[in-house]
Structure 1
Amino acid sequence: MSQQRHESTPGNPGAAAAFPDLPEATIARLPEYLRALHNLEGSDTISSEALAAAAGVNSAKLRKDLSHLGSYGTRGVGYDVALLIEQIEYILGLDQRRAVCLVGVGNLGHALAGYDGFASRGFRIVALFDADPARIGEQISGLTVRHIDDLARVAAEESIAIGVIATPAGAAQAVADQLVTAGVTSILNFAPCVLSVPAGVDVRKVDLAIELQILSFHEHRKASLTALPGGRAPTGNQEAVGS
């Protein structure tokens, strides 16, 4: 598959192509590196070891990930913090301030709509939708809840790039269909179900129950090991997913 490529990245002429063929695991770790970098207070540089520790990965993995971006650091100095933030934000497209809509303003949706951390991470929630007549017109964080039937019109007006589904599972597929019809090609799904979407539409799933079940497995495993003669619990697994 061909990749769109550019000659350089912002602030670093001649660096690696803007959109290298990044492994999925690397893509998943870039936001962690970015979070750690933003948490640095007044630091001009950071070593790979310090950044890896802050992001919860090993330094060799971090150096390999960042090499895909054309960032190799300087021996004895480390990485330029401001430049690395710029490079990662550019690769992740966070300089676009992408418009996001949220469908489903129940308990979870209401909490997501009121979360002010999205703005600092490069996203704008521009519209809220629901199918419940009792919720239409409700004000949440300065936005008015609209009826789902208005989705196509608002998506065009606001140039919505990403749709977040926070509905019950039974409604999620119909909502996904409406988002796709409205031209939204990236979906974050909080509903506990698998969505069927056309090629070219990207879906990320967040299932809190599954994450708890995975943690339950680790608790069960630790308890089983400590119950054995001479057994002891293993050390924690910081990267159970995406390693």
Structure 2
Amino acid sequence: MTEPEPRVLPEATLTRLTQYLRALNAFEAQGTERTSSGVLAKEAGVNPAILRKDLSLLGSYGTRGVGYVVTELAEHINRTLGLTRDWRVAILGAGNLGRALSGYAGFASRGFQVRAILDTSASIIGSDVGDLVVEPISTLGEVIGREQINIAVLAVPGEAAQELIYALAAHGVNSVLSFAPRPLRIPAGMIVRRVDLSTELQILAYHAVQS
């Protein structure tokens, strides 16, 4: 008998799972052993009915009248999101953004190890960024192999991002977070999440003038 195909969760559900996990981690830090859907939903900023629907997609992990065991639910969401794996990150671009990202404590606390930072500028290569030394982009393949990189963060100008996307794909890195301010052509099999800060600010400005 063949195993069923794993369920592909909707993007909105995936986003909310990260919110539930953040709330559950806070509960754990406070020593809370159990929580209800109402309390968890409030801490995550969602409707309880939506929370119950999201968690039903993962299986039945709550008990009516008793609620959820915090550690068990957090562990299950971690497994669902792939956070029990070893994620080793390379940051491409050692400018202000790349340096700020390399020092972000939230990566390590969520299981993402920043193992390398690379750049093209001769004036930056060889400088220290925290515990890392900026390495040349020309050694990308070597760095990926040495550090077993499986996620890349693009903190480079738009014109450089496309070439790096192809280079990453050629070296087997298929998960990319891009801060490049332009759409990119994505090779088959690669997943790219795009963060456009200017777009987010423009949307925020719109909502500000409407209020």
- After superposition, what is the alpha-carbon deviation per residue over 1:40-65, rounded to whole angstroms, capped at 9, x for unaligned? 11011111111111111111111110
Contact 1:94 1:121 (C-alpha < 8 Å) held by counterparts? yes
2-structure distance, mates of 1:163, 1:197: 14
Are 1:78 and 2:67 matched, yes or no?
A: yes
- Please name the residue that 1:106 is paired with: 95
- Please name the residue that 1:238 is paired with: none
Aligned to 2:113, the other structure's residue is in SS state strand
Q: Which amino acid aligns with 1:121?
A: R
Are 1:30 and 2:17 matched, yes or no?
A: yes
Q: How does 1:148-227 map to 2 (within 5 A)?
A: 148-222=137-211
1-structure distance, mates of 2:200, 2:62: 35
Aligned counterpart for 1:39 among listed residues 26, 39, 43: 26
Q: Which amino acid aligns with 2:31?
A: G
Contact 2:91 2:155 (C-alpha < 8 Å) held by counterparts? yes
Q: Which amino acid aligns with 2:186?
A: V
TM-score where L is the length of structure 1: 0.82
Quote how far apart the aligned CAs of 1:5 are.
Answer: 5.2
2-structure distance, mates of 1:92, 1:20: 12
1-structure distance, mates of 2:107, 2:20: 17
In structure 2, relative to structure 1, the CA distance for the partners of 1:139 and 1:5 (3 Å cut) is: farther
Aligned to 2:63, the other structure's residue is in SS state coil
- Please name the residue that 2:124 is paired with: 135
- After superposition, what is the alpha-carbon deviation per residue over 1:96-144, rounded to whole angstroms, capped at 9, x for unaligned? 1211100001111110011122111011111110000111111112111
TM-score where L is the length of structure 2: 0.94
Contact 1:103 1:128 (C-alpha < 8 Å) held by counterparts? yes
Aligned to 2:115, the other structure's residue is in SS state strand
- Please name the residue that 1:54 is paired with: 43
2-structure distance, mates of 1:72, 1:38: 17
Quote how far apart the aligned CAs of 1:36 are.
Answer: 0.9
2-structure distance, mates of 1:191, 1:52: 34
2-structure distance, mates of 1:30, 1:205: 19
Contact 2:86 2:111 (C-alpha < 8 Å) held by counterparts? yes
1-structure distance, mates of 2:200, 2:7: 30
Count of residue correspondences: 208
The range that moved more, 56-65 or 170-179, is 170-179
- Please name the residue that 2:110 is paired with: 121
Contact 1:5 1:20 (C-alpha < 8 Å) held by counterparts? no
Aligned to 2:161, the other structure's residue is in SS state helix
Contact 1:71 1:84 (C-alpha < 8 Å) held by counterparts? no
Unaligned runs of 5+ in 1: 7-16, 223-243
RMSD (Å), alpha carbons:
1.5
2-structure distance, mates of 1:151, 1:115: 22
Unaligned runs of 5+ in 2: none
2-structure distance, mates of 1:158, 1:27: 28
Q: Which amino acid aligns with 2:152?
A: G
Q: Where do 4+ consecutive residues of structure 1 move more than 2 Å?
A: none
Contact 2:35 2:67 (C-alpha < 8 Å) held by counterparts? yes
In structure 2, relative to structure 1, the CA distance for the partners of 1:168 and 1:5 (3 Å cut) is: farther
Greater helix content: 2
Quote how far apart the aligned CAs of 1:220 are.
Answer: 2.2
